């Protein structure tokens, strides 16, 4: 599209997914993009009745997936939100778990809200029911919608909310190091204390009968959370609370003009929660100032052990949170930390309520700006049409997003690296391990448990056929490594799988690193302990069921060439998302499907892996190119001995003794049998001959014993 910026071209392409009338009632068409970031007029009878824009052009909309959540929104000339539609995203929780209709309903609650007018009157954004199970996703959507609408309105020339507060700024030279009581007394540190009774009352007032019926346990006066907050980018406050060394570390994290807050908490409720472990986003706290809402990520978080201020109590949780560069934050003006409290009201539902902790830095840490109020207001307005310099600075950051994400996942990367090293050692030195059946079995059980509980349910690094389809699709379109580097664990796993395919085929992943595969094998082990009868599928039928998974994969691959989104939906044939990513927290039909597959696996070990897994099929195809054959066989295997054929857990060994590499999961059970001198006929004969020679060579054996041993 000649003459238009890259942002305008992308906006125009996404506008093809929505009609003008869907955004604003009565709108008939779209006009030409104007401004930077681009705004598109909404036309009715040739007159402009609103403006459409892409939220990710104005603010960071990165969600749980690490990729932008694209919402087309519309405002009028005054900044009132007229409509919005989710047009593109890669959020797994919405793609595979939460009906998109619930997200649409969430977005609809913001229609009619004017963020600039709300900021000028001190009003808050609409209180919207959060979609349980997709907390991070919908909070990002709501925050980005409000913030982008405010910036788009300012770009249009809206002035609501540009008040004289800009006359104040932070004084970096004010104050000196103080003790805890002084900081608490003068307001440098602010506190929010909630009791069990207060939280129960709040849920009671919310009108949610289910939440009110499940009160927090304990006495009403019991402490629920004791929360403290302070602006530690102010040098005196920062040095007082952090100490000189930790404050110096903070300065290394901050860019010029960037700020940070400290949050400390004590009590039964964690302000950090556990969502940031999986998605990197702290979903229980947010900073709100005017039209700006800040959602913190783990890459801009630093854990603190203890406070340095004299007399400061010990806290269970202390963290420093850096405010992102794309946020317009005025440290000398009031802001508030909002605490989101969640309460389970069912197996798949949660209720939410929020509490505010207001903060205004003491007067002695502020100073007046030399310019006049009018000049300050003009400065704010002048900044908006230039596409918010802070946003541009964030996008022009020398460090790519994927590098920051990798740095924030160092501990998880180290654990995964250790797992891969252990597995590599097992395969390279398998002859030593398989000769010790009991030790090897315990190692395998322990490894599968780590794969399921840590790699799967905690780290949620479950590979999927969707990854294969997305990769091949990107090769045909706009391939960029940065798309795949944003999830370090998934990237490392795929790199390891690619290397393993050259050495051993699909087995290392399917047999050792697949969390759902581990779940199948561990549940089957429990079934055997419970004496659940095991079904041996007749070989003629078993052979004819193998191709099903290849047909499923080829079907998905063919669909992905036309519509990747449809292929992602059809990939629900994989129960990985239900059983691993969402830990069975889904609609009943998804859970029933996953449980049915696991139930079949109780009778036929790894039923899904054998016959239905499209990912296993996708890996088996390039796995034929492996360079080495590490599984050893005897000439007697299959004729006359059938032991390995009968005992292979997935029936990957043909009756004639040949191992099918397309079906082998490298469990190494056949290698245990290969070296077992009590089960393998070849090894049994070798053992008997060895014992016979030892008996004949024994000096204490008389003629009669020697004759008996010879016989």
pLDDT digits (tens, 9 = 90+) for 525-548: 999 999 999 999 999 999 999 999
**Over residues 264-274, mean pLDDT:** 87
- Evaluate if residue 619 carries a pLDDT over 50: yes
On whether both 91 and 20 belong to a single domain, the answer is yes
This prediction's pTM: 0.55
On whether both 544 and 630 belong to a single domain, the answer is yes
Last residue of a domain, one of 110, 125, 156: 156
On whether both 541 and 662 belong to a single domain, the answer is yes
If DSSP codes are grouped into helix, strand and coil, which group holds residue 178?
A: coil
Instruction: Say which range, 393-397, 485-489, 492-496, 499-503, has the weakest mean pLDDT.
Output: 393-397
Q: Return the pLDDT at 289.
A: 83
**Over residues 172-188, mean pLDDT:** 90
282: its two tokens: 């702290």
Average model confidence (pLDDT) for the chain? 81
Q: Return the pLDDT at 373.
A: 39
On whether both 365 and 329 belong to a single domain, the answer is yes
Instruction: Examine residue 82 and state whether it is found in any structural domain, yes or no.
Output: yes
On whether both 548 and 597 belong to a single domain, the answer is yes
Q: How confident is the model at residue 389 (pLDDT cuts 50, 70, 90)?
A: very low
> What percent of the chain has a predicted confidence (pLDDT) above 70?
81
Give the range of the structural domain holding residue 240, as residue numbers without chain letter: 165-397
On whether both 381 and 412 belong to a single domain, the answer is no
Q: Return the pLDDT at 417.
A: 95
- Evaluate if residue 330 carries a pLDDT over 90: no
> What percent of the chain has a predicted confidence (pLDDT) above 90?
31
- Evaluate if residue 136 carries a pLDDT over 70: no
Q: Which among 27-36, 285-294, 590-599 has the top mean pLDDT?
A: 590-599
**Over residues 129-152, mean pLDDT:** 69
Last residue of a domain, one of 156, 181, 196: 156
Q: Return the pLDDT at 131.
A: 44
What strands lie across the sheet with 189-195, from one edge to the other? 189-195, 223-231, 260-266, 317-322, 301-303
On whether both 131 and 216 belong to a single domain, the answer is no
318 touches 263 (CB < 8 A): yes
On whether both 359 and 224 belong to a single domain, the answer is yes
Instruction: Say which range, 28-37, 127-136, 199-208, 223-232, has the weakest mean pLDDT.
Output: 127-136
pLDDT digits (tens, 9 = 90+) for 577-607: 889 887 887 778 889 999 999 999 999 999 9
Instruction: Examine residue 611 and state whether it is found in any structural domain, yes or no.
Output: yes
Q: Look at the alpha carbons of 77, 82, 87, 89 in this order and tell me if their dihedral is positive or negative.
A: positive
- Evaluate if residue 325 carries a pLDDT over 70: yes
On whether both 131 and 236 belong to a single domain, the answer is no
Length of the chain: 711
Instruction: Examine residue 702 and state whether it is found in any structural domain, yes or no.
Output: no
CA dist 256 and 242 (Å) reads: 20
- Evaluate if residue 420 carries a pLDDT over 90: yes
Q: How confident is the model at residue 514 (pLDDT cuts 50, 70, 90)?
A: very high
Last residue of a domain, one of 397, 414, 431: 397
Paired residues of 353 in beta bridges: 341
Instruction: Examine residue 109 and state whether it is found in any structural domain, yes or no.
Output: yes
- Evaluate if residue 205 carries a pLDDT over 60: yes
Instruction: Examine residue 703 and state whether it is found in any structural domain, yes or no.
Output: no
On whether both 109 and 233 belong to a single domain, the answer is no
Instruction: Examine residue 701 and state whether it is found in any structural domain, yes or no.
Output: no
- Evaluate if residue 567 carries a pLDDT over 80: yes
Q: Return the pLDDT at 384.
A: 35
Distance of CA 683 to the CA centre of its chain: 49
**Over residues 75-91, mean pLDDT:** 82
CA dist 557 and 562 (Å) reads: 9
On whether both 487 and 542 belong to a single domain, the answer is yes
Q: Return the pLDDT at 3.
A: 46
Q: Number of structural domains, the chain?
A: 3
If DSSP codes are grouped into helix, strand and coil, which group holds residue 124?
A: coil
Q: Return the pLDDT at 126.
A: 63
On whether both 328 and 195 belong to a single domain, the answer is yes
Q: How confident is the model at residue 556 (pLDDT cuts 50, 70, 90)?
A: very high
Q: How far is CA 566 from CA 96, 295, 561, 614, in A?
A: 12, 31, 10, 16
- Evaluate if residue 564 carries a pLDDT over 80: no
Classify each residue of 258-295 as buried b or exposed e, where b means 16 or more C-beta atoms within 10 Å of its C-beta.
Answer: bbbbbbbbbbebebbbebbeebbbbbbbbbbbbbbbbb
N- to C-terminal Cα distance for the chain? 93
What strands lie across the sheet with 47-54, from one edge to the other? 29-30, 40-44, 47-54, 70-75, 81-88
- Evaluate if residue 45 carries a pLDDT over 60: yes
- Evaluate if residue 649 carries a pLDDT over 80: yes
Instruction: Examine residue 52 and state whether it is found in any structural domain, yes or no.
Output: yes
Q: Return the pLDDT at 574.
A: 93
Instruction: Say which range, 258-267, 558-567, 695-704, has the weakest mean pLDDT.
Output: 695-704
Q: Return the pLDDT at 521.
A: 95
Instruction: Say which range, 33-47, 90-104, 150-164, 668-682, has the weakest mean pLDDT.
Output: 90-104
- Evaluate if residue 371 carries a pLDDT over 60: no
Instruction: Examine residue 692 and state whether it is found in any structural domain, yes or no.
Output: no
Element (H, E) at 689: helix 681-696
Q: Return the pLDDT at 329.
A: 86
- Of residues 594 and 569, more confidence is placed in 594
């Amino acid at each position: 599209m000649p003459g238009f910026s890259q942002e305008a071209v992308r906006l125009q392409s996404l506008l093809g997914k929505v009609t003008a009338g869907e955004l604003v009632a009565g709108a008939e068409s779209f006009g030409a993009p104007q401004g930077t970031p681009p705004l598109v007029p909404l036309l009715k009878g040739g007159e402009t009745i609103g403006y459409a824009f892409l939220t990710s052009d104005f603010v960071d909309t990165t969600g749980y997936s690490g990729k932008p959540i694209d919402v087309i929104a519309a405002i009028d000339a005054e900044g009132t939100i007229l409509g919005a539609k989710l047009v593109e995203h890669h959020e797994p929780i919405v793609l595979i778990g939460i009906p998109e209709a619930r997200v649409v309903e969430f977005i609809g609650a913001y229609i009619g809200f004017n963020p600039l007018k709300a900021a000028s009157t001190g009003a808050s954004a609409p209180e919207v029911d959060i979609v349980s199970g997709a907390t991070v996703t919908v909070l990002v959507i709501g925050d980005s919608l409000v913030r982008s609408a405010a910036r788009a309105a300012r770009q249009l020339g809206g002035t609501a909310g540009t008040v004289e507060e800009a006359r104040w700024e932070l004084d970096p030279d004010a104050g000196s190091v103080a003790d805890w009581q002084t900081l608490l007394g003068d307001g440098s540190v602010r506190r929010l204390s909630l009791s069990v009774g207060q939280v129960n009352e709040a849920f009671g007032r919310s009108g949610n009968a289910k939440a009110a019926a499940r009160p927090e346990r304990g006495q009403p006066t019991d402490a629920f959370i004791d929360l403290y907050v302070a602006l530690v980018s102010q040098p005196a406050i920062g040095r007082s609370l952090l100490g000189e060394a930790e404050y110096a570390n903070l300065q290394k994290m901050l860019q010029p003009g960037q700020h940070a807050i400290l949050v400390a908490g004590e009590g039964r409720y964690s302000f950090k929660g556990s969502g940031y472990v999986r998605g990197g986003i702290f979903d229980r706290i947010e900073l709100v100032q005017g039209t700006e809402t800040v959602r913190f990520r783990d890459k801009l978080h630093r854990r603190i052990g203890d406070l340095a201020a004299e007399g400061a109590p010990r806290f269970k949780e202390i963290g420093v949170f850096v405010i992102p560069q794309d946020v317009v934050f005025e440290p000398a003006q009031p802001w508030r930390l909002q605490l989101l409290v969640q309460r389970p009201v069912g197996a798949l539902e949660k209720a939410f309520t929020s509490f505010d902790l207001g903060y205004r830095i003491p007067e002695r840490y502020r100073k007046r700006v030399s310019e006049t109020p009018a000049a300050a207001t003009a400065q704010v307005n002048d900044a908006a049409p230039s596409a918010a310099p802070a946003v541009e600075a964030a996008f022009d950051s020398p460090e790519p997003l994927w590098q920051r994400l990798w740095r924030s996942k160092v501990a998880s990367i180290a654990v995964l690296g250790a797992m891969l090293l252990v597995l590599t050692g097992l395969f390279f030195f398998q002859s030593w391990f398989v000769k010790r059946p009991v030790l090897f079995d315990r190692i395998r059980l322990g490894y599968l448990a780590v794969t399921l509980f840590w790699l799967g349910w905690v780290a949620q690094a479950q590979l999927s056929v969707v990854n294969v389809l997305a990769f091949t699709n990107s090769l045909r379109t706009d391939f960029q490594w940065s798309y795949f580097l944003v999830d370090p664990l998934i990237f490392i796993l795929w790199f390891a799988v690619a290397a393993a395919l050259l050495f051993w085929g699909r087995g290392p992943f399917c047999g050792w690193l697949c969390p759902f595969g581990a779940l199948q094998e561990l549940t089957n082990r429990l079934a055997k302990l419970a004496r659940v009868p095991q079904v041996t599928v007749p070989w003629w039928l078993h052979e004819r069921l193998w191709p099903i998974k290849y047909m499923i994969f080829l079907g998905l691959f063919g669909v992905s060439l036309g519509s990747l989104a449809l292929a992602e939906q059809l990939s629900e044939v994989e129960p990985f998302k239900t059983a691993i990513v969402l830990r069975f927290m889904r609609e009943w039909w998804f859970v029933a499907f996953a449980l049915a597959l696991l139930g079949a696996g109780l009778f036929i070990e790894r039923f899904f892996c054998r016959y239905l897994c499209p990912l296993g099929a996708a890996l088996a195809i390039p796995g034929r190119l492996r360079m080495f054959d590490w599984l050893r066989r005897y000439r007697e295997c299959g004729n006359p001995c059938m032991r390995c054929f009968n005992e292979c857990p997935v029936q990957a060994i043909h009756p004639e003794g040949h191992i099918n590499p397309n079906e082998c999961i490298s469990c190494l059970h056949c290698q245990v049998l290969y070296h077992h001198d009590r089960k393998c006929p070849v090894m049994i004969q070798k053992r008997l001959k060895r014992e016979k020679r030892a008996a004949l060579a024994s000096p204490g054996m008389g003629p009669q014993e020697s004759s008996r041993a010879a016989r």
